[in-house]
Amino acid sequence: MEDLTEVASRAVAAERDARSVRWHNPAAVRKAAASVRDSLDGERSALSRPSYSGLSPSPHMARQLELITRSQAPLPADATIGTAAQAEADAVAAVTTARIALRAAHLAVLEARVAALDAGDTDTVAAAIRGYTPLNTGKPVIAHLHALGSRIGEEARHVVNDKPRSIAFRLGLSLGLGFAYLAFIRFFQWDAKEDRLPYLALYALSGVVGSIVCTNALSFDAERVRAALSGGTRLWHVLVAKNIVILILVGSAGLLLSAVLSWRAGTSTELVKACGQVLTMILLWLGVANVMSVVAPLRAEPMSARLRDGTWKPFLLSFVLSYGIGLIVNLMLYWRIWAKTTLLEQMGAPWIPVLLLLTSAAATWLLLTVLAVLLAEQPRFRRALHREMVVYREETNHLQATIQHNSG
């Protein structure tokens, strides 16, 4: 129904263009036509990729899609009266086809709902419709935990063992930059206040969980994510498994770094507070990164390829946004710490305030992850994921660039 509603909104947008005062401006109409043509090309290219659900349309519907999505050559710049008349006739036929297709889509959506109701309208039916792999029999919570545990183990093995170790390399690089930052602070003796030393681990690790490995997790690891979704794995299983593996890896480094810095500061209370803040930072970042992975996905490819296919601008924008959102995450963290300071002074011990801080961060992570999954169900974001969750291959990229150049 959401997809059908979006189709109706597209019709409203087309009506708005048709009734625009710019309708008699040749340059404006050509610009609008070029924009629609680019969107149409994007829709056609998305159809060439397999669906996440692993389910395919029936042969009858596949033939209809093949007929509708055939490329249409643009009109020549020096159109004659006969060309204009033929184009008008083709436009009338296309609008008629669209009207019939909209009615057919409306009927198909209603019939799909009737079939779901006749089948029982249960969770099992909904899972089958979405292409999910059936869970083990038993209590749903236990079945989900078992499936999630298997996914976490697979994710950890991939990060540690599979080659090329791109995720491990990125995490190691970010961690190395964080340690270099701490060495820079130590060299210039900016760490004079020993009671603040344990909190420097936040700065060393914020770049790790704020890197593209987390903020673009679905598209950065596109091949495995697409294979998992096509094989029936739920999206939230993929996100949570990636989050837990990152939490274990980065959290272990954070706890070790906090322990070293706290040992130099000479107090165990600061260690408890520092560890709590590191885990809070990781949870907040992972929740924000889940939303960013769905809202702003971007295919992983070399910069040279980005210059050819025009994706360098979205890449730079994503890079800037990640740092901007990183500042917001740090502000959230500082606000939470400030809110717990008074409680910390009243309690006299750090355990309860730190546990409250972690509980609040875990709840925020959970809410942001649920938001990411819900957004992924929306047609606009689902299409963006479908378009950007692709595996870069050099020969394919060159072919696409050649086709775009020839068509231009």
Residue range 264-286, pLDDT digits in tens:
656 667 677 777 778 888 888 89
- Of the pLDDT bands very low, low, confident and very high (cuts 50, 70, 90), residue 368 is very high
386-399: average pLDDT: 64
- Of the pLDDT bands very low, low, confident and very high (cuts 50, 70, 90), residue 69 is low
Domains in the chain: boundaries: 2-129, 140-407
- Of the pLDDT bands very low, low, confident and very high (cuts 50, 70, 90), residue 349 is low
Q: Which of 173-182, 194-203, 383-392, 396-405 has the lowest mean pLDDT?
A: 396-405
Give the pLDDT confidence score for residue 398 in this predicted structure. 45
- % of the chain with per-residue pLDDT over 90: 6
Q: Which residue has the higher pLDDT, 340 or 311?
A: 311
Integer Cα distance of 375 and 382 in angstroms:
8
385-400: average pLDDT: 64
User: Residue 176 gets which letter from DSSP?
Assistant: H
Residue 351: count other Cβ atoms within 10 Å of its Cβ.
Answer: 13
Give the pLDDT confidence score for residue 282 in this predicted structure. 85
**Cβ atoms 298, 318 nearer than 8 A:** yes
Task: Report the C-alpha dihedral over residues 330, 332, 338, 343, rounded to 10 degrees.
Answer: -130
Q: Which of 56-60, 96-100, 102-106 has the lowest mean pLDDT?
A: 56-60
Answer whether the bond into residue 164 is a cis peptide, omega within 30°: yes
Cα radius of gyration rounded to whole Å, the chain: 26
**Cβ atoms 368, 288 nearer than 8 A:** yes
- Of the pLDDT bands very low, low, confident and very high (cuts 50, 70, 90), residue 197 is low
Give the pLDDT confidence score for residue 346 in this predicted structure. 61
Integer Cα distance of 50 and 386 in angstroms:
9
Asked whether residue 174 carries a pLDDT value surpassing 80, the answer given is no
Give the pLDDT confidence score for residue 405 in this predicted structure. 45
Give the pLDDT confidence score for residue 249 in this predicted structure. 84
Average pLDDT, the chain: 76
The number of residues in the chain equals 408
Asked whether residue 194 carries a pLDDT value surpassing 60, the answer given is no
Give the pLDDT confidence score for residue 329 in this predicted structure. 66
128-141: average pLDDT: 77
User: Residue 1 gets which letter from DSSP?
Assistant: -
pTM for this predicted structure: 0.73
Q: Which of 22-36, 250-264, 340-354 has the lowest mean pLDDT?
A: 340-354
